[in-house]
Amino acid sequence: MSFRQLVLLATLLLSFWGHGQECSFSLRGKVQDFHDKSPLVGATLYIPELEVSAITDLNGEYIFEKLCAGNFEIEIMHPECRTLIFPVIITRSDTRDFLMEHHLEKLDEVKVVGSLFTNKTNSGLEEQVSEESLLRNSGASLGDAIKELSGVSSLNTGATIVKPAIHGLNGSRILVLNDGVRMQDMEWGDEHAPNVDVNSAGSISVIKGASALQYGGDAIGGVIVMEQSILPVRDTLYGKTVLNGISNGRGGSISSDLTKIFRDQWFLRVQGSYKRLGDQEAPDYILSNTGIAETASSIQFGRKTLEWGVQARYSFYDAEIAILRASHIGNIDDLIRSINSGEPEIIRPFTYDLQNPRQDVTHHLGKLSFYKRFEGMGKWNVQYDFQQNRRREYDVRRGELNDRASLDLELTTHSLSTDFKWDAAEKYEWQAGLIGRYQVNFPNPATGVRRLIPDYNKTELGGFLTGEYKLKPNWNIDAGIRYDFVNIDATKFYQTSRWEERGYDQEFSDLVVEEIGNQLLTNPVFTYHNFSGTTGLNYSKNNTTFLRFNYALAQRAPNPSELFSDGLHHSAARIELGDLRIKSEISNKFSLSYERRYNTWGFSVEPYANFLKDFIVLEPTGVEFTIRGAFPVWSYRQTDARLLGIDASAYADWHPNWRSEHQISLVKGNDLEQDLALINIPPVNLRNSLNFYKENWQDFEVSLISDLVLRQNEFPPNIVVFSPEQQEDVLLEINSPPAAYHLLGLNSKAEFSLGGFGKLITSVVVNNLLNTTYRDYLNRQRYFADGLGRNVQIQIIVNY
At 106, phi and psi to the nearest 5?
-75, -25
CATH homologous superfamily of domain 2-102? Carboxypeptidase-like, regulatory domain (2.60.40.1120)
Q: What is the DSSP pairing of strand 169-170 with strand 475-495? A: unpaired
551 beta partners: 535, 590
Q: What is the DSSP pairing of strand 25-33 with strand 98-100? A: parallel
pLDDT tens sequence across 254-269: 999 999 999 888 999 9
Nearest Cα neighbor of 150 from 512, 667, 692, 544 is 667
Q: Is 366 helix (H, G, I), strand (E, B) or coil?
A: strand
Pick the CATH number of 225-799 from 3.30.565.10, 2.60.120.620, 3.30.1330.10, 2.40.170.20: 2.40.170.20
pTM of the model: 0.88
The Cα–Cα gap between 202 and 588 comes to: 32
794 beta partners: 245, 764
CA distances from 660 to 58, 194, 545 (A): 43, 32, 20
720 beta partners: 731
The reply to whether omega before 357 is within 30° of 0 (cis) is yes
- Decide: 550 and 123 in contact? Cβ < 8 Å: yes
Q: Which residues contact 15 (CB under 8 A, 6 or more apart)?
A: none
Q: Residue 135: in which H helix or E strand, if any?
A: helix 131-136
Query: SS3 helix, strand, coil % of the chain, rounded to 5?
Result: 10, 55, 35
pLDDT for 398 equals: 81
Nearest Cα neighbor of 748 from 788, 692, 696, 707 is 692
Give me the mean pLDDT over the 68-85 stretch. 83
CA torsion through residues 722, 727, 728, 733, sign: negative
Q: Where are the beta strands (DSSP E) in 220-348?
A: 222-227, 236-246, 251-261, 266-277, 280-281, 286-287, 292-304, 308-322
CATH number for region 109-224: 2.170.130.10
Per DSSP, the residues of 609-637 read EEEEEEEEEEEEEEEEEETTEEEEEEEEE
pLDDT for 16 equals: 41
Q: What is the DSSP pairing of strand 525-541 with strand 286-287? A: unpaired
Q: Which residues contact 7 (CB under 8 A, 6 or more apart)?
A: none
pLDDT tens sequence across 600-655: 999 999 999 999 999 999 998 887 777 666 678 899 999 999 999 999 999 999 99
Q: 7-21, 533-547, 624-638 — which is least confidently predicted?
A: 7-21
The Cα–Cα gap between 574 and 719 comes to: 15
**Structure confidence at residue 81 as a pLDDT band (50, 70, 90):** confident
CA torsion through residues 5, 8, 14, 18, sign: negative
pLDDT tens sequence across 559-584: 999 999 988 776 667 889 999 999 99
pLDDT tens sequence across 322-374: 999 988 877 778 878 887 777 888 999 999 999 999 999 999 999 999 999 99
Q: Residue 359: in which H helix or E strand, if any?
A: strand 358-374
How many Cβ atoms from other residues are within 10 Å of residue 293's Cβ? Answer: 18
The Cα–Cα gap between 217 and 223 comes to: 11
Residue 440 CB burial class (10 angstroms; 0-12, 13-18, ≥19): middle
- Decide: 9 and 16 in contact? Cβ < 8 Å: no
**Structure confidence at residue 590 as a pLDDT band (50, 70, 90):** very high
pLDDT tens sequence across 483-520: 999 999 999 999 999 999 999 999 999 999 999 999 99
Structural domain boundaries in the chain: 2-102, 109-224, 225-799
- Terminal CA-to-CA distance of the chain, rounded, Å? 53
pLDDT for 295 equals: 98
722 beta partners: 729
Q: Is 172 left (phi over 0), alpha (psi -120 to 50) or beta?
A: alpha
pLDDT tens sequence across 182-237: 999 998 888 889 999 999 999 999 999 888 899 999 999 999 999 998 888 778 89
Give me the mean pLDDT over the 424-443 stretch. 93
pLDDT tens sequence across 450-483: 888 999 999 999 999 999 999 888 999 999 999 9
CA torsion through residues 177, 183, 144, 188, sign: positive
The Cα–Cα gap between 84 and 153 comes to: 41
